Amino acid sequence: MPVSPRLRRRNANFDFAAKRRREIVLHARHVGAAETEDFSRWLIAWVWHNPSAKDQIWSVMECAKNMGGKVTEAGASAIIWAASITRKHLTADNLARFLGVTYDQRQALRLTTIGSVNVKRRARKEQRKRHDRLAKERKRRATGVRPRAEYEANSMAAKARAEGVSRMTIYRRIRAAEQARNGLNVTGVSAAIFLSGEDGPVTPAGVEGTSERGFASKKARGLPSSQTTTTMVADSHEALPTELRLLALGLAEADWAKNLARAA
């Protein structure tokens, strides 16, 4: 798997020796190493991880101050000589045995480069896995995810095994129950209905005076039809004098005078 450039830069800038020195100082201050007779142990371990110092004596004197103690220049020189002749303990668990780091101290100080004397590396790895698993489980429970045993007990497979049928049978039963419960409110697919020549108008049978479109005729509604209106207009014109009828038709005066003379 390729490493991203950002992670590569971070790994390139990581100084393992500097981190190990910081953790040695943290543990020395936590257990009060400066007040014990074995104070030199933590200083020797610190010197092992500081090989590139330009002034090693001054560095040891400053380290002793950071640990809460104090050493002279002669004492710093003696510690440097002791570090050079003592067998180095550089692995995590070996350094933990050299300094006496317990697992509780390691967890309290959040040490990562130093092991522990009572919990080995493999056991610490298993505990990390268990801790991560429990943390993820708590997160799932917080989001509403049910435990696996409860989920399997209420699953369709469990119901099918209890009734001695297949899961598809259970699904069909559930679907049938839903359709029976919501049958009146569900519109299903129906066949298309085509009108034939034998079909009649939509007008109900026995209703007179209705048109083909289902509306009542003008006669049934008490309104005059177009033919009746034309007859009524002609009758009203016949009741008028001839002059007025000719004027209504828009004829010229000379024309209707000639027609009147012929008629006389």
Q: pLDDT tens across 85-135, in order?
A: 999 999 999 999 999 999 999 999 999 999 999 999 999 999 889 999 999
Alpha carbon distances (Å) from 61 to 66, 178, 224: 9, 83, 125
156 pLDDT band, cuts 50/70/90, is: confident
Share of the chain above pLDDT 90, in %: 41
**pLDDT at position 170:** 85
Q: Six-digit token pair at 76? A: 């710093």
Please state, in angstroms and rounded to a whole number, the distance separating the CA atoms of residues 91 and 181: 71
pLDDT tens per residue, range 175-230: 888 888 886 555 555 555 555 555 555 555 554 555 545 555 555 566 555 555 55
Average of per-residue pLDDT across 126-150 = 88
Interior angle at CA 158, CA 154 and CA 161, nearest 5: 155
Higher pLDDT: 66 or 151? It is: 66
The tokens describing 219, both together, are 């006669």
Q: Indicate if the pLDDT at residue 249 is higher than 80.
A: no
Sign of CA dihedral 207, 213, 215, 217: negative
Nearest to 124 by CA among 132, 115, 133: 115
User: What are the two backbone dihedrals, phi and then psi, of residue 192, each rounded to the nearest 5 degrees?
Assistant: -75, 140
Residue 7: the pLDDT is: 58
SS in 3 state form for 180-240? HHCHHHCCCCCCCCCCCCCCCCCCCCCCCCECCCCCECCCCCCCCCHHHHHHHHHHHHHCC
Report the C-alpha gap between 264 and 258 in whole angstroms.
10
Specify the pLDDT at position 105: 94
Helix axes 16-31, 92-99, angle to 10 degrees: 30
CB 66 within 8 A of CB 25: yes
In order, the DSSP letters of 131-158 are HHHHHHHHHHHHTTPPPHHHHHHTSHHH
